[in-house]
Every structure is written in C-alpha cells, then in structure tokens.
Amino acid sequence: MRIIKFIILVFISFNSIFASEVESIMNEANQLYQNKNYEAAIEKYNSILELEYYSPALYLNLGNSYYRSAMFGKAILNYERGLKLDPADEDLKVNLEIVKARTVDRIKEVPKLFLVEWWEFIISATTSTVWQIVVMFFYLLLIGSITLYFVTNSGTTQRITIFSSLFGLIGAIFFSIILFAHVQRETSTDYGIITTNTISVKQSPNETSDDFFVIHEGLKVAVEENFGDWYKIKLSDGKVGWLPKSTLEII
C-alpha cells in the first residue's frame, strides 16, 4: 500500500513539475511574441512541442508567430493541427481563414455528397472528451436500466426500463461509432500542408518525371501514398501527382 501511495505521489509531483515547466516556457514565448520577436517565440513554442505537450492554445500561438513571420504554410499547418484537437475553437477557425486568404491557390472543391458532409460535421462538432462523456452517459443509462429491471417488482417500471435500455443501447452504439471516427480523424496522417513557396507536382515519384501542375505554399492536400522520399498527393479538385516529402508537412 505504501508503495502504491509513493508511486502516486511521484506521478503527481512529476506532472506538477512538467506543467510548471511548460507554463514557464509558454510565458517566455508569449512575452517574445508581444515584443515582436517572432523568430525567438517560434523557437520557444516548438520547444514545448518537443516536450510532447500539445494544446489548441499552443498551436494558435505558434501559428500566429509563423503568420507574423510571413510563413503562411507553417501558420496554416499549426492552425490545422490545433483544430484536430478542438474542431470548435473559433480563434483557430478565424485565423485559419485569414491566412488562407493570403495564399495563392484557389482550387474549387469537388462537391461532396450530403451524407458525407453531414457525417463530417457530426464527428467534428466537438472534442473527443465530450464524445466520451456522451458515450459514458448512454452506457450508464443502459446498465442502470437493466439493473432496475431486475430489482423492481413494478410492471410499469419494468416496461419503462425496457424502452430506456433500448434507447441506451442504440445511443451507446451510435455515439461509440462517432467517438471512434473522431479519434481516427484526430490521429490520421492523410492530410498535409505545402510549406515550400512554389513546387511542381510530378507525374511519377522521380525528379526526372514530367511536371504535371504547380502548387504553392499553404495549400492543403490529401496524402494518398508514401513511396521512398515521395508522397502521392490529391487536390480537392481531384488532381493527383507526386511531391518530395520535404515540400510538405503532415497535419
């Protein structure tokens, strides 16, 4: 028992020290940003990421620093990473649209089916924490209803618990699927942001291959394949080609 208490105490102390270190670096970075020393602020914010600490606020600040440094690709990359953690963050959404307006490419998207748009809206409506709470609520409703069914002698109550348990089961399954899809979306690596000013997309993964089309910094692309030092990318209008991995970063 003492060993368990000691382990818990060490864990709490470690987290406290880690949080204090992150807060200290964040304050330093924020001060550098306020002083318009954006390059140094970027270095500080990135040092927090190296500690494997991630938050929407951190990505927002880092994106703002890149934006002030006219590095629009890096700014968009960090806003997008922040939105993967919190799709409802208004600051990230607004700043992302502001920076996207400064980019060169204006690619018309292929229209999506209504059901696809509806599903994407649902899974990105809130954070994974909220979806976990919703799933937990329906599981507790299901378990509670089943338990009440067996402990009560009232026929009316038993009929109600049958409906509530069915409702809990359907809700638990449906929102578990949404939670799974949301987590998959957060951890997916199938989108990237172009961080090179101008790049020619190749028809095949080879420097000697013919140029297919030209894209610019800040464009979001789907990454379909990984071959050596090359990515096969797809634009929102359906065009497909190959790029060196050094020209983009995965969100």
Residue with the bigger pLDDT between 204 and 120: it is 204
pLDDT tens digits along 8-48: 544 454 456 667 889 999 999 999 999 999 999 999 999 99
Evaluate whether the domain defined by 191-250 bears CATH number 3.40.50.300: no
- Return the pLDDT at 115: 84
CATH superfamily ID and name for 2-100: Tetratricopeptide repeat domain (1.25.40.10)
pLDDT tens digits along 85-100: 888 899 999 999 999 9
Spell out the domain ranges in the chain.
Answer: 2-100, 114-187, 191-250
> Contact, 145 vs 165, CB < 8 A?
yes
Grade residue 5 by pLDDT with cuts at 50, 70 and 90. Answer: very low
pTM: 0.72
